[in-house]
């Protein structure tokens, strides 16, 4: 099995290198890795944020593990080439329309969250974010005379785009606690009114066992910090999902611990899917090059990769348990109030992994 690694920029290469060590350990070296350029690193080397070689390497692979893209070096708002274009382009090129962002805070990290511990009790939610449509991909441009320009970004969704992401959300809810929250801004936006109608129809017709509620995005932002345990699966459009998941990171104690899986259509073979896996955080320019970033979000993304694209559920669980145990034993990087380096944090996880892997083999 082949995994394409796209380390990207800033702390991306640091956290991807650590997740690769974990993947190697848990699979006993069974995976082949191909490294390729994306983002600012690709702009510097080739002039474009997503070189064709990178897309080809991803297409040859069973799954992709990505670090992060972007940074101050490429932030000029007048530049026609931007690192983030590479990320959007690879999501689109691989048809990765469903972005799963689980938020199940580790009990050991309750003290790292600014929320009261009682607010965090029972929180286990999954945000299913639409990833290849909406305002990110609509017509955009800046028009008019210098000094008097107008800019626009068009938000557009088709019925089919909404149907397929709602189905993913409802399937996930069915496999969990059966509750789906569709988040929109239907009191203002046409796209949201279509979204709401389609979600209602799809769930009623195909998922009678799933309960559906509609919540407006502004209210959802509030509920996420006042009563997050009320949510099971949240399905929402591209930009709302981006914003709400950074907010939800507060529940987990740090944005450095949250993983994500971006999936395309099932490939039929044991229902695994081509997928791209990445932490939800960015390139953290303030931490880059210092070896202090938290690798847990990327390591947990690697676990999702094992589960969803390689069909290695046992190995995925081994990694997730090793992370939980390392955190329960007090392993902490600086974002969680500790002093471990990126590598030491990974070593703490790998120490638990060895014990667990040996036990699993013995059974």
Ligand X SMILES: NC(=O)c1ccc[n+]([C@@H]2O[C@H](COP(=O)([O-])OP(=O)(O)OC[C@H]3O[C@@H](n4cnc5c(N)ncnc54)[C@H](O)[C@@H]3O)[C@@H](O)[C@H]2O)c1
Ligand Y SMILES: CC(C)[C@H](C(=O)O)[C@@H](O)C(=O)O
| Binding-site residue positions for substrate | 91, 101, 129, 218
Nearer CB in complex with ligand Y: 74/207? 74
> Which of 37, 68, 199, 327 touches ligand X (CB under 6 A)?
68
The answer to whether 136 is a known catalytic residue is yes
The answer to whether 185 is a known catalytic residue is yes
Residue 280 within binding range of ligand Y, rule CB under 6 A = yes
Q: Tell me how far, at minimum, the Cβ of 246 lies from Mg ion, in Å.
A: 6
The answer to whether 116 is a known catalytic residue is no
Residue 247 within binding range of ligand Y, rule CB under 6 A = no
- Tokens 């569709």 identify what position? 182
Nearer CB in complex with ligand Y: 36/90? 90
Q: How far apart are CA 59 and CA 54, in angstroms?
A: 9
> Which of 90, 128, 282, 350 touches ligand X (CB under 6 A)?
282
- Binding-site positions for NAD(+) read 71-84, 282-294
Catalytic residue among 53, 56, 209, 218: 218
Where does this chain touch ligand Y (CB under 6 A) — which range of 30-38, 80-88, 138-146, 166-174?
A: 80-88
Catalytic residue among 136, 157, 277, 335: 136
Q: How far apart are CA 322 and CA 308, in angstroms?
A: 19
The answer to whether 218 is a known catalytic residue is yes
- Binding site residues, ligand X, CB under 6 A: 11, 68-71, 84, 87, 254-256, 278, 281-287, 293-294, 297, 335
Interaction site with ligand Y (CB under 6 A): 70, 84, 87-88, 242, 280
Catalytic residues: 136, 185, 218, 242, 246
């Amino acid at each position: 099995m082949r995994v394409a690694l796209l380390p990207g920029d800033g702390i991306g290469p640091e956290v991807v290198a650590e997740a690769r060590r974990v993947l190697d350990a848990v699979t006993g070296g069974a995976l082949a890795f191909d490294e390729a350029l994306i983002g600012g690193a690709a702009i510097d080397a080739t002039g474009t944020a997503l070189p064709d070689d990178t897309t080809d390497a991803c297409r040859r692979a069973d799954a992709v593990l990505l670090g992060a893209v972007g940074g101050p070096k490429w932030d000029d708002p007048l530049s026609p080439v931007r690192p983030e274009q590479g990320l959007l382009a690879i999501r689109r090129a691989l048809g990765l329309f469903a972005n799963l962002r689980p938020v199940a805070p580790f009990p050991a990290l309750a003290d790292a969250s600014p929320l009261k511990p009682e607010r965090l009790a029972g929180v286990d939610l999954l945000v299913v974010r639409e990833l290849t449509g909406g305002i990110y991909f609509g017509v955009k441009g800046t028009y008019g005379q210098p000094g008097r320009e107008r800019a626009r970004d068009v938000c557009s969704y088709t019925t089919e785009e909404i149907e397929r992401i709602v189905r993913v959300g409802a399937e996930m809810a069915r496999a969990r606690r059966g509750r789906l929250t569709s988040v929109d801004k239907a009191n203002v936006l046409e796209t949201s009114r279509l979204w709401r109608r389609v979600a209602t129809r799809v769930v009623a017709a195909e998922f009678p066992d799933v309960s559906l509620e509609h919540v407006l995005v502004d209210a959802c932002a509030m509920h996420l910090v006042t009563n997050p345990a009320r949510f099971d699966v949240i399905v929402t459009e591209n930009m709302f999902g981006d914003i709400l998941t950074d907010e939800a990171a507060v529940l987990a104690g740090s944005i450095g611990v949250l993983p994500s899986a971006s999936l395309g259509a099932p490939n039929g073979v044991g229902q695994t899917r081509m997928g791209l896996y990445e932490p939800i955080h960015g390139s953290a320019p303030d931490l880059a090059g210092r070896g202090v970033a938290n690798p847990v979000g990327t390591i947990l993304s690697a676990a999702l990769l094992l589960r969803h694209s390689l069909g290695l559920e046992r190995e995925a669980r081994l990694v997730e348990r090793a992370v939980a145990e390392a955190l329960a034993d007090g392993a902490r990087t600086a974002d969680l109030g500790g002093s471990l380096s990126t590598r030491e944090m990974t070593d703490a996880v790998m120490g638990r992994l060895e014990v667990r892997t040996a036990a699993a083999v013995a059974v």
